[in-house]
Amino acid sequence: MESINFLFWYMFICGLFIFCSLRKHILLTLLSLEYLVIVVFFIMFYFFFTYSSEYNFLLIFLTFSVCEGVLGLSILVSMIRCHGNDYLMNLSSLMW
C-alpha cells in the first residue's frame, strides 16, 4: 500500500520536473502535461477502487482531459501554420 503511494508521488514529481525543465518546444510541454493527466487519472482510479466508489467521475475527467489535449494540439497546429515552428518564445507574439 505504501509502495503504491510512493510510486504515484514519484511519477507525479517526475512529471512536474519534466514539465518545468522543458521550455523550448510546445509539443514537449504538451506531452508532459498529458503524462501528468495520466498520472492523476491513475491516482483517482486507485482512490476510487480502494474505497469502492462509483467510477462516473473518471469518465468526466477523461472527457475534460481529451478536450484539453485537443485544445493544445489545435494551438500547436495554428502556431506552426503562422510561424513555421513550435518554439515557446513565439507564444508571447501570438498575443499581439
pLDDT tens profile 50-60 = 887 788 888 89
Point out the residues of the chain with pLDDT beneath 70.
1, 22, 88-96
**What domains sit in the chain, N to C, each tagged with a CATH number?**
2-94 (1.10.287.3510)
pLDDT of residue 70: 92
What is the Cα–Cα distance from 10 to 12, expressed in whole angstroms?
5
pTM: 0.79
Q: How far, in Å, are 18, 30, 47, 73, 80 from residue 40 at the CA level?
A: 15, 15, 10, 20, 29
